[in-house]
């Protein structure tokens, strides 16, 4: 669980004791859970999950990438990491790091129209090759635009949306759980607690569902089941208790609500879903199927 973006800190859960251990950087696990991309200040590194748990920060291999406003984001196949940022009102710069080669490629994407600085975001399309770019217009009366583009900037599909995303696929550092298992559906996260997050069908660009206003999306359990964090009352500011809500995507029916366990005094901004297989002790009591 990664903490506030103001502080470079995450907490690792020891499943045998139910206790959390603090590590001095932000952590985002790969789709298969075996690797992690970490960031400390502006530095970005890679480390295996096992080495991170065993050796902590000493095991991190720093890549030379620089964390900016958007990213890092794992590709769905877990083979590359993406970072993006706004250079000016019309350009979006993308850095792609391939794990197999250790090579970083940089590309400037020319966006179709002016954008509001610091309000664009980027993540991967479901094929782990193309990118999804969200463009926030400078004119508040214009709709927001999401584009699926090739790495060379060629637009594959483009659609407009009335929502105001903080990021595509997640907040700040998109979590892998924000995509459905097939990669066809993706959550576009609202930027404010008053806004409504949307679920997009990547094959058509069609909005298939809206999540309740004021909740924080967590991701998909399967192709038809979504999870979000909701306050027990009022504004989700983590000063009060919150619940993890499991709901049916097609009917919006709530299937289950679970109290959220988290370390005290910690501001949670990223939660990832994973298998409960192998959980023991206190952690097993928190699992569900």
Binned at pLDDT 50, 70 and 90, residue 215 comes out as confident
How is the beta sheet containing 80-86 ordered, strand by strand? Answer: 70-74, 80-86, 91-98, 103-110
In sequence order, the 6+-apart residues with CB closer than 8 A to the CB of 140 are none
Q: The whole model's pTM is what?
A: 0.60
Binned at pLDDT 50, 70 and 90, residue 176 comes out as very low
Residues 140-150 have pLDDT tens digits of: 677 677 777 88
Residues 59-97 have pLDDT tens digits of: 999 888 877 656 688 888 889 998 876 655 566 778 889
Q: What percent of the chain has a predicted confidence (pLDDT) above 70?
A: 60
pLDDT of residue 194: 54
- Joined tokens for residue 52: 């991170």
Note the Cα 94 to chain centre separation in Å.
Answer: 17
Mean pLDDT of 9-13: 73
Options 3.40.50.150, 3.40.50.300, 2.130.10.10, 2.40.30.10; CATH of 10-274: 2.130.10.10
């Amino acid at each position: 669980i990664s903490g506030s973006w103001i502080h470079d800190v995450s907490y690792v859960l020891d499943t045998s004791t139910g206790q959390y251990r603090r590590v001095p950087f932000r952590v985002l696990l790969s789709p298969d859970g075996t690797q992690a991309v970490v960031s400390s200040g502006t530095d970005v590194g890679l480390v295996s999950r096992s080495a991170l748990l065993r050796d902590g920060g000493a095991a991190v291999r720093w890549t030379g990438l620089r964390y900016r406003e958007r990213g890092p984001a794992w590709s769905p196949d877990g083979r590359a990491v993406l970072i993006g940022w706004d250079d000016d009102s019309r350009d979006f710069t993308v850095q792609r790091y391939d794990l197999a080669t250790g090579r970083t490629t940089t590309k400037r994407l020319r966006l179709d129209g002016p954008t509001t600085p610091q309000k664009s975001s980027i993540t991967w399309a479901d094929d782990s090759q193309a990118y999804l770019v969200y463009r926030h217009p400078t004119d508040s009366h214009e709709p927001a635009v999401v584009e699926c583009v090739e790495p060379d900037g060629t637009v594959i599909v483009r659609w407009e949306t009335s929502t105001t995303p903080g990021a595509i696929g997640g907040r700040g550092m998109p979590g892998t759980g924000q995509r459905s298992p097939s990669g066809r559906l993706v959550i576009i996260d609202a930027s404010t607690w008053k806004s409504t997050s949307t679920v997009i069908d990547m094959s058509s660009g069609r909005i298939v569902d809206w999540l309740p206003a004021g909740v924080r999306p967590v991701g998909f359990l399967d192709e038809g089941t979504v999870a979000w964090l909701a306050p027990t009352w009022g504004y989700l500011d983590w000063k009060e208790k919150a619940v993890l809500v499991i709901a049916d995507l097609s009917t919006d029916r709530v299937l289950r609500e679970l109290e959220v366990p988290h370390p005290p005094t910690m501001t949670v901004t990223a939660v990832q879903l994973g298998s409960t297989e192998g959980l023991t002790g206190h952690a097993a009591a928190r699992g569900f199927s």
